[in-house]
Structure 1
């Protein structure tokens, strides 16, 4: 891969004062360029990931970047969307741009302003990532979709509610050390594994602590062609980057097996020439704790129905064999849809540069990142390593 990550910027995730997505984009653009030591006029292409789909009447988000950085006024800019994998879609498009020889430096931004809408309306907007003809009336929005997935999984493999709570507790404990996280609080195992007034069912069997947070936020990455990155202060390279899709309707596939994700991981491992044992940690898409558990199986860490053993045995804990979501994941960090994929890659870069503070996995050299759109419909896997 000829593209290198050489700089980044990240807002705190949460219910932010920023008026709109334009303001969020402005918060990270200049900071990312400064971190990369790149002048705006040297950027050859801008790639902006925002879901929107009703969060704002303002579209054409690619053009918003130049409003804060006038030097980018005449720079080609595009807006991309691929549900919850929107950020990774923007990143991969920028890599395609560089690797096709169309430019040497690209700016990637992921952003979303979600908290200005009522929760019910937000839920309906997010259902655009489902097959509405069949799934559009599921109660509880996307939580309801994953609630049904969890029900199917439990019917086949037994009740794993306790282990889902362990995943939530793990990720919240990790998120305490993430300065960008929406929820920096360790809730503990008893709270996360128990249904209570403060932790009710959202879409049974999923409790509130099983669901990621509705958040605002933005993140940005600067990419360089490897020829230019020679002089960069830092460089993170891709040993693999794979996208695999799956059929959209859940009725046409096994909802308890993320087959597209499994294929993406298998292709990424083959491309990178590694096994899962060669990874030092993984940042994965835990929009719901049920998703993380099934993703363990899609990674090849466990046979179908056996993912619960990994969290029960501490395998995916920060001090375990393969730490998963040392950043706290979407569960603690939050899930501003367009920003998520970019954020996940930044969290991995911070680890690989030994710059992750309290999140740091000692000696981390190789990382896996998994970002998905919809219920494992658009599946992106990156294998990252430090190049400089």
Structure 2
């Protein structure tokens, strides 16, 4: 089932309603406890800076590069490094420059609006610690920097399928889909003729996080510190990121001679509510850590798993990271929310969304030889939950 809201400049309209001024609907973030995120989103949506006409020449001068380099960075073409591209786009945003691609798309299309569909089930923790929040935040930023209006809809993959209003109603000219969409929606979108790009799930056009590389590097770091006995927690393997991360983990276990022996060392939890998932992870840790030769490190494909495990470690009178090192997949805002601050494999959501927007723009312009699949490497960030194992 779908529901959403429309952002047009500084006017937000609930889908299907008359055009009249409305307060921001924060109820869609009711499960998000991060006040900083809410404040950032409000400030971004309600700020009204007076922007003067900025030319590409002024952006080039401020960035210290040629106009050709600026054009390549803003239009996602040419040989410009990822770091340079993001820097130039940041400078352009700060100056208030509107890339020409936005004007071209506005003239060529009928609604001048880009859509985002986010899978979010009220019964899970996806909106809090998963992909939905950072994808949404970076999508809004990307649209604002391009001078594009946008429409956002949420849906639950666990509910009976119904077509997204923004596409079936002709409200958008292109679409990003942030996460697992399921076959019914994918088939419907392909049949609709709407250009769309998937964020972090496979599709004809998609930008995915190289979760396998991130997990491989995490195991490699643990091996270098002297760890040999590992454990792993993940989610349902029908999600691309879950499957890719687990494949990377198994490949690293083989390459570095790690030990997974012991009952239940690898577990894949179902999609459940946050409290249930915390409890499941805690109970799993209690069983695994009581084994005669328990793991010295665990890799989690979810920060909720890691919090449940950390709670159980402390309840058992053990210490992190002295008795158990933990590395989890998740954003810095969540990893640094509580002590100990979790070491993480951090998905680069800004790069994911920027690449997805560039890919969508190319598809909508009918660009030939368009790269259909883009992989973005995550970052391994060490904080307070990784150390060498205790001597045997």
The TM-score normalised by the length of structure 1 is 0.31
Higher Cα Rg, which structure? 2
The TM-score normalised by the length of structure 2 is 0.31
